Amino acid sequence: MALKASALKIGDNHSECVVENLSRTQIVQYAGVSGDYNPLHSDEVYTTQIAGYPSVFAHGMLTMGLTSKMLTNYVGDGRLTKFGVRFTNQVWPGDTLQSTATVEAIREEGGQHYVDLKLTTVNQDGKEVVSGSATARVDA
Amino acid sequence: MAKITFPVEATHIMMFARAIGDTNPVYHDAEAAKKTEAGGIIAPPSFAQAVAQFDPDYHLRPRPGQKWFGSGKTPSGVEGKPASSGGLHAEQHYEYVRPLRAGDVLTCETTPGKTWERESKRAGKLTFRERVTEYRDQKGELVMIARGVGVTTERPVDQG
């Protein structure tokens, strides 16, 4: 279900809870599938005693993946032309994340319509963990 | 940097979608995916991160016969490791020509980009390093460009 340029307005938004009470096991799932086995994400002993963090924490790319779920639910499958994020704060086991896309522009280029979106993902304390932007092809 | 061959496989996509908690059938159900606009199983937008599985020299994967810096009998398997966080991921950007599809065999070539430094109150001196990776398909056509920025911190990031 693609978005329609004619039905979009600047400031429209879509928001989803993309994870509730993030588990260490989900972080391990992401480590296994992505191939990033950095002990910071799964090895509490190393992370607290050597690296100096209060606990293991999520891969930034897991948070990007969680954010992408909200994004593709909004714009549809295979519609993205750009997707970029900055990781602004770490994500910890137990966190609950809310991701939001807000329409910044609706435009036409060579007969194709696009929507430009501003992205943000915040934790249960309202602290931003990801800020970003995306562009997707939309129908007329 | 050497080119990496990245076979995009349906099972890998299914597992990746599970890890991000995405139950969209376009990532795991071939029959359902055929009936969608995508026309078959495609990969989630950040799936290309899993190219690490196909990098023979990837430094964040333990290898047989080599010391691993995570814990075993002791908190780190490598002596003299500084009490710092090492590298963290600062930014990730993708530009897509088309989605990655199950069955694609991609060739990935990474080139180093810019390097810059910044002082931070929360983690001391930050050193940023950019890497740009081009993904081309079995026909040699550009499918996607990824730009990642890694950061090395002087000390662990203060949580205050």
Domain CATH number, residue B122? 3.10.129.10
In which order are the strands placed within the sheet that holds A13-19?
A13-19, A97-109, A112-122, A128-138, A80-87, B87-96, B142-153, B124-136, B105-120, B4-7
- Say which residue, B82 or B55, is predicted with more confidence: B55
- Mean pLDDT, chain B, whole residue set: 92
For A68-112, how does the pLDDT look when each residue is reduced to its tens digit (9 = 90+)? Answer: 999 999 999 999 999 999 999 999 999 999 999 999 999 999 999
Contacts of B45 in chain A (CB under 8 A): 68, 71-72, 80, 83
Q: What is the ipTM of this complex?
A: 0.97
The CATH number assigned to the domain holding A50 equals: 3.10.129.10
CB contact under 8 A, B45 and A36: no
Domain membership of residue B80 (yes or no) is no
In three-state secondary structure terms, A46 is: helix
B159 located within any domain: no
Q: Summarize pLDDT for A34-59 with one digit per residue, the tens.
A: 999 999 999 999 999 999 999 999 99
Answer yes or no: are the C-beta atoms of A63 and A97 closer than 8 Å.
yes
In-domain check, residue B61: no
Which of the residue ranges A131-140, B26-35, B36-45, B82-91 would you say has the lowest mean pLDDT?
B82-91
Average pLDDT over residues B45-70: 94
Number of domains comprising chain B: 1
- Give the total number of structural domains in chain A: 1
Of B24, B70, B71, nearest to A72 by CB-CB distance is: B24
Residue A43 structural domain = 5-138
Residue numbers in B near A29 (CB within 8 A): 15, 18-19
Record: contact A77-B99, CB cut-off 8 A: yes
The verdict on B7 touching A (C-beta cutoff 8 Å) is no
Domain containing B20: what range? 4-56+85-153
pTM of the model: 0.95
